[in-house]
Structure 1
Amino acid sequence: MTFVSYRIMDLELSRPFAGFALASHETGYALVVRWEGRIIGFLMKEAPEGLRMDEEVLREIVERDFALRILTVKLEASLMERWPATTLIESPSLTIAICTKDRSARLARLLDALEAIRGASEFRALEVLVVDNASVDSGTREVVESRADVRYRFEPKTGLDFARNAALETATGDLIAYLDDDVVVDRGWLAGLYRVWADCPDAGGYSGLVLPYRLETPAQIRFEREGGFGRGFERIHHRGALLGNPLHPVGAGVVGAGANMCFRRDLLLKLGGFDEALDTGAPLPGGGDLDIFYRVLRSGHAIVYEPRYAVFHEHRETMAQLRRQYWSWGLGFMAFLEKARRTDPGMRLRQDAMVRWWFRDKLISFAGALSALDLRRAGDLAAELRGAIQGLLGEYDRSLARSRRIREQVV
């Protein structure tokens, strides 16, 4: 198999920039495009090994792809300078919650990135909380103990939503921001979260941009080419009703990704926290973020997507891991929908319509991949479809039983 690797580079457009040369093993490049530090775009291109990109060609690419976005950001900055935003309410306190299991090296990397930015926080108070979700070794505890001002809680019940609820119970912040342990925060992450809160303090939650941390394997490159976790570079207000989308908010995945999300803590407590029958480990490794997005929206609160609130995610390294991820997405989505159909019958017509639309869309994509002889893409879609069928055929009930057994084993 031919080795592939894309170099990821920051490109700051508000200052003079130079061209670049790829190494002999690099078969493409990805640009994290910024204006005065703010991420405004992402560009990913295949290229010949050893490509030399001179300044003029790079400038032409930038002007073609980002000129309008640069103009928009400049206009926003000009308006903010002329009419500065004022916040009339007290700044909230923030808990940053990291739920992790046996990945101490990645946890250390994330904590290092947070330490580099926490000193500039505008929040009234800030705490970092690590929830150790039944790790089998002492690595997680040791990483936390080696750092100042990081709280630790051990959660013996295995399952991401057990850990998320442990964080919710332990946190002291008015807001609780959940980070997966396989991300690294951007240098503007904390400021981006504060800015979207200051502009939209009545929102129930906030979601953020997720870009790739590295693109060094075929699976990582393929996933990002197919859209990755991308939600765009414009702020989006998601509300319980959305004109022009008859399926909203059932398709809660458009709101954001569970790897980078924040909520009002009092609201999550009022809603009863995360559903511990979702994200119960390998048999059902998903659905909890979709469920909480949906329930926040159904409670009448908005969730605001803010691209300045950005992280970089460690995508799956192998094709087998990526295919399992697609399977888990289909499984988690349909398990969530089955739960929603029982608990929210007022949305039954939209829920049923979503199931029909989802299968039709995936089958059309599957047929298109087969006709184009893209067998790898067809295999990924087939895995997602298999997961979805399994999700519809009783997976939520099976997961409810698993969550009960997990509780009984701990007690």
Structure 2
Amino acid sequence: MSLDAVTVAICTHNRLDLLRRTIASIHAAQRPAGCRGEILVVANACSDGTEQWLTDMAVNGAGPHGWSFRHVREPALGKAHALNRLRTLETAELIAFVDDDHRVDPGYLRSLVEAAERHPESGLFCGRILPDWDGREPAWVHDTGPYRLYPLPVPRFDLGDEERPLGVDGPCPGGGNLAVRREVLRRVGPFRSDFGPVGHNLGGAEDIEWVRRALAQGERLQYVPGMVQYHYVDPDRFRLAYLMKKSFERSASVVRLERSMPSDGTAPPRFMWIKVFDRLVRLVVSAADASRRRFYAMRLAGALGEIHGYRLRRRDESLSAIGKGKE
């Protein structure tokens, strides 16, 4: 099964400098012979000059190597709204999602298209996301000892060098390096706007929820190691306040999506509160050691995030029960 075109889709909000970098990397990527390329940007409530720059780009019609280019505006702030706007547009059969703070590896598109041709039974494809280290990051980021920070505030998804299918049991990729066949994008349904980031806040999981829903509906997902994207490393992400907030939001999203965890009570389970108390004590006694203090501050924020996620999940279940009662 040969593919004659691919749409590279970028949802962006007020990141013009990074967006330019992303698009330049796509132009520089190798494209399989006979496969047309299109860059499609959804400008999500942008106010930093992005839309004017995109308009100027569109006037030229095509970029280097024959890339066509277009953009649309989505005024409702929130990445899920931008993704759902994308679902309504005409695209190539294969849609490759690239975040606006990523750059693609030169072999990215070739690896994706070749995998899509090898696996016509698969409707979704994912690859590696690696930090784009530039030497400005603090040394402790690369620690491998007992108090190393995980997950790092820079996304990383790397399942090794072997191509393989992924199932409902995971691991589950996010949407930063995901490709979807057009009919699958439409068939699975919209992205949930109550999950995704709004602007540049630290909410998320709208992509993971959608991928899990797709797999639950029987869609197939293929991990392709040659699909490599590099995530921009923002130095501000290594401040303790950011680390704690990200840990809180990520843990809340994970628990909110976790259906195997019991939720038969209105209050968070006792073990969650025990974990908070344990992390707090460890943080207090670690005050003199910067590595331990940083580690347990993140763990405490994560434990509090789990409680928040539990409460959000209980709310979701209550709303779902009310909705079913009205049917």
Retained in 2: the 8 A contact 1:204–1:303?
yes
CA distance in 2: counterparts of 1:177 and 1:231, whole angstroms: 18
Q: How far is 1:233 from its partner? A: 2.0
Q: Which residue matches 2:138?
A: 218
- Which of 245, 257, 264 is the aligned partner of 2:181? 264
Deviations, residues 31-68 of structure 1 (Å, cap 9, x unaligned): xxxxxxxxxxxxxxxxxxxxxxxxxxxxxxxxxxxxxx
Greater shift, 163-172 or 212-221, is seen at 212-221
1:276 matches 2:276? no
1:177 matches 2:96? yes
- Which of 230, 233, 239 is the aligned partner of 1:315? 233
Q: Which residue matches 2:56?
A: 145
Retained in 2: the 8 A contact 1:107–1:140?
no
CA distance in 2: counterparts of 1:368 and 1:210, whole angstroms: 35
CA distance in 1: counterparts of 2:185 and 2:9, whole angstroms: 14
Q: Which residue matches 1:136?
A: 47
CA distance in 2: counterparts of 1:359 and 1:262, whole angstroms: 36
Compared CA separation, residues 112 and 220, structure 1 to 2 (3 A): farther
Residue type of the alignment partner of 1:186: D
Retained in 2: the 8 A contact 1:369–1:377?
no
Q: Which residue matches 2:118?
A: 199
- Which of 165, 172, 195 is the aligned partner of 1:237? 165
Count of residues in correspondence between the two structures: 286
CA distance in 1: counterparts of 2:9 and 2:313, whole angstroms: 28
Residue type of the alignment partner of 2:24: D
Compared CA separation, residues 303 and 367, structure 1 to 2 (3 A): farther
Deviations, residues 298-323 of structure 1 (Å, cap 9, x unaligned): 11122111121001101342323333
CA distance in 2: counterparts of 1:227 and 1:133, whole angstroms: 28
Compared CA separation, residues 219 and 139, structure 1 to 2 (3 A): farther
Residue type of the alignment partner of 2:53: E
**How do 1:312-351 and structure 2 match up within 5 A?**
312-318=230-236, 319=239, 320-337=241-258, 350-351=260-261
- Which of 105, 112, 117 is the aligned partner of 1:186? 105
Residue type of the alignment partner of 1:152: H
Q: How far is 1:137 from its partner? A: 3.1
Q: Which residue matches 1:54?
A: none
Compared CA separation, residues 109 and 121, structure 1 to 2 (3 A): same
Retained in 2: the 8 A contact 1:209–1:310?
yes
Q: How far is 1:334 from its partner? A: 2.6
Residue type of the alignment partner of 2:80: D
Retained in 2: the 8 A contact 1:132–1:141?
no
* Secondary structure of residue in 1 paired with 2:256: helix
Retained in 1: the 8 A contact 2:9–2:39?
yes
Q: How far is 1:201 from its partner? A: 2.0
Residue type of the alignment partner of 1:321: Y
Residue type of the alignment partner of 1:155: E
Retained in 2: the 8 A contact 1:255–1:305?
no
Q: Which residue matches 1:384?
A: 302
Q: How far is 1:143 from its partner? A: 4.2
Q: How far is 1:93 from its partner? A: 2.9
Compared CA separation, residues 169 and 314, structure 1 to 2 (3 A): same
**How do 1:238-257 and structure 2 match up within 5 A?**
238-240=166-168, 248=169, 252=170, 254-257=171-174
Greater shift, 205-214 or 387-396, is seen at 387-396
1:394 matches 2:312? yes
Q: How far is 1:122 from its partner? A: 4.4
Deviations, residues 333-369 of structure 1 (Å, cap 9, x unaligned): 23334xxx5xxxxxxxx3549x99x969x88x95997
Q: What TM-score does the superposition give when structure 1 sets the normalisation length?
A: 0.61
The gaps in structure 1 that reach 5 residues or longer are 1-88, 241-247, 342-349, 402-411
Q: How far is 1:277 from its partner? A: 2.0
Residue type of the alignment partner of 1:218: P
Q: How far is 1:271 from its partner? A: 1.5
Q: How far is 1:113 from its partner? A: 0.6
Q: How far is 1:393 from its partner? A: 1.1
Residue type of the alignment partner of 1:257: G
Compared CA separation, residues 395 and 194, structure 1 to 2 (3 A): same
* Secondary structure of residue in 2 paired with 1:255: coil
Retained in 1: the 8 A contact 2:109–2:227?
yes
CA distance in 2: counterparts of 1:188 and 1:225, whole angstroms: 30
Compared CA separation, residues 159 and 112, structure 1 to 2 (3 A): same
CA distance in 1: counterparts of 2:279 and 2:98, whole angstroms: 33
CA distance in 2: counterparts of 1:312 and 1:389, whole angstroms: 32
Q: How far is 1:208 from its partner? A: 0.9
Retained in 2: the 8 A contact 1:238–1:302?
yes
Q: How far is 1:206 from its partner? A: 0.9
Deviations, residues 365-387 of structure 1 (Å, cap 9, x unaligned): 95997688611111112222222
Compared CA separation, residues 138 and 385, structure 1 to 2 (3 A): same
Q: Which residue matches 2:324?
A: none
Retained in 2: the 8 A contact 1:129–1:171?
no
Q: How far is 1:263 from its partner? A: 1.2
CA distance in 2: counterparts of 1:222 and 1:289, whole angstroms: 28
Q: Which residue matches 1:93?
A: 5
Deviations, residues 123-182 of structure 1 (Å, cap 9, x unaligned): 643211000000123234314523632211100111111101112222411121111111
CA distance in 1: counterparts of 2:34 and 2:84, whole angstroms: 23
Could you say which structure has the larger radius of gyration?
Answer: 1
Higher relative contact order structure (alpha carbons within 8 Å, sequence separation ≥ 6): 2
Q: How far is 1:279 from its partner? A: 0.8
